[in-house]
Structure 1
Amino acid sequence: MDTAPKLLVFDVNETLLDLTPLKERINTKLNSTLAFDLWFPKLLQYAMVETLTGTYRDFGDIGAATLEMTAQQLSVSLSEQEIKDTLSIIIQLQPHPDVMEGLEQLSAQGFRLVALTNGGQSTLEQQMQFSRLESYFDSLYSVEVVKRFKPHPKTYGYVLSQEEAKPNEAMLVAAHAWDIIGAQRVGLQTAFVQRPGKFLYPKSPGLSLVVKDLKELVEKLV
């Protein structure tokens, strides 16, 4: 790192919050151990379709629509209420074991901590309250304000403008290679968190940091 970041921008789902309960529920509901792994990429794909075609729908609505598609793919019939009930667990997720300690130490070291998610603002706030992470963050941001999904440049630019920070003063912390690349393209520093099953895109530019969890992030930043 040429310059130590002052602002740390955290992705939420999978980076901070453990999606295992949602994965297990979807797999059970659709009677397949592959169901979640079929659904989640569809969710991201159609979020990108919305952004690329200049439209916007709530991430939760896209999640419901793509879960219906996945059910059809697996020859399972789900009612609208069943889909809603299945996805409701998104606001009842716990943080990964390293997260609270890592955030507490980063905050104590004087870093400004904010969250940025593709989910809606209401969903984000409920997630932070349930997981007890709300107190660690100075601000919570949703892409719904700019109506573009990450990795669109406007999503990161919005946070920088609100925080009055230059790109090289900020670092995106995420477990998704596509999110990392988006932040890099607008000049942010990045830290890739190697959550289980998450891998870097081989064609991505050089990263600022690669860490196994937030405890290692603390060690490398401090």
Structure 2
Amino acid sequence: MHHAAYVFDAYGTLFDVHAAVRRHAGEIGPDGQLLSEIWRAKQLEYSWVRTLMGSYADFWQLTEQALDFALRKVPSADPALRTKLLEAYWRLDCYPEVPAVLKALKASGAKLAILSNGSPEMLAAAVKSAALDQILDDVFSVDQVKRFKTDPSVYDMVVTNWRLYPGAVSFQSSNRWDVAGATKFGFRTVWINRTNQPDEYRDFPPGLILPSLEGLLAGV
């Protein structure tokens, strides 16, 4: 089914959040995957806690704080790698199918955007690094509303800016909690379940579950 607008979460959906650690896996040692998982989990936890507290700090600050925690939690990882890991986060790899899928959706006449927790600077760097800057119509950062997903004000940025009803928007995310928030808001949601995670938030089900973004082209 073709939609007027396709909106994508950035981290985990378009960009591989574990690419930063993988790039320096040889220096980190055997606990690299553990370090990356703790880093990601804490980054998200901090976003939820700060939104609930009403104490916003941008996603880059949370990314730094989360890495500091992960490095303390995984003592086998050399803390001297902190700078390298943070630098790598600015140039995360996009998943292999991303450029072709976005180009095909764009060619079909749809509007395309990112809607992300990321700071404007982080997102601009990631988009440019993956050469997606010529394909996307907009990049929406939560920095505009100073609240993180799944706060409804985040999803509202898209419909307010584009003057669309929520049902006209197909929203894609690899994060099941993000899909739940977007479903509740009224978007048509697609869960990109890249790592075959079990379902949750069953009272807010996705409209579609796909293993990658390639399945979006079936209706184009």
TM value normalised by structure 2? 0.90
Deviation at 1:26, TM superposition (A): 6.8
TM value normalised by structure 1? 0.89
Q: Corresponding residue for 1:133?
A: 132
Deviation at 1:180, TM superposition (A): 0.3
Q: Which runs of 5 or more residues in structure 1 are unaligned?
A: none
Q: Distance in 2 between matches of 1:113 and 1:197?
A: 26
Q: Corresponding residue for 1:11?
A: 9
Give the AA of the match of 1:114. A
Give the AA of the match of 1:123. M
The alpha-carbon distance between structure 1 residues 194 and 203, as it changes in their structure 2 partners (threshold 3 A), is: same
Deviation at 1:19, TM superposition (A): 2.9
Q: Distance in 2 between matches of 1:18 and 1:208?
A: 23
Q: Corresponding residue for 1:36?
A: 36
Q: Distance in 1 between matches of 2:16 and 2:66?
A: 20
Provide, for residues 114-161 of structure 1, a one-character-per-residue CA deviation record: whole Å limited to 9, x for no partner.
111111011111111111011111111110010011111110001210
Q: Corresponding residue for 1:122?
A: 121
Q: Corresponding residue for 1:218?
A: 217
Q: How much identity, in percent, do the aligned residues show?
A: 27
3-state SS, counterpart of residue 8 of structure 1: strand
Q: Distance in 1 between matches of 2:108 and 2:119?
A: 29
Q: Corresponding residue for 2:22?
A: 24
Q: Corresponding residue for 1:47?
A: 47
Deviation at 1:77, TM superposition (A): 6.3
Q: Distance in 2 between matches of 1:151 and 1:26?
A: 31
Deviation at 1:31, TM superposition (A): 5.4
The alpha-carbon distance between structure 1 residues 34 and 215, as it changes in their structure 2 partners (threshold 3 A), is: same
Give the AA of the match of 1:56. Y
Q: Distance in 1 between matches of 2:11 and 2:132?
A: 13
Q: Corresponding residue for 2:73?
A: 73
3-state SS, counterpart of residue 136 of structure 1: coil
Provide, for residues 167-210 of structure 1, a one-character-per-residue CA deviation record: whole Å limited to 9, x for no partner.
11112111110110110111111011121254432524232111
Conserved? CA contact 1:5–1:168, under 8 Å = no
How do 1:1-222 and structure 2 match up within 5 A? 5-25=3-23, 28-29=27-28, 32=31, 33-75=33-75, 78=79, 82-196=81-195, 198-201=197-200, 203-219=202-218, 221-222=219-220
How many residues are paired up? Answer: 217
Conserved? CA contact 1:107–1:136, under 8 Å = yes
Superposition misfits of 4+ residues, deviation over 4 angstroms: 25-28
Pick which of 190-199 and 51-60 moved more.
190-199
3-state SS, counterpart of residue 6 of structure 2: strand
Q: Which runs of 5 or more residues in structure 2 are unaligned?
A: none
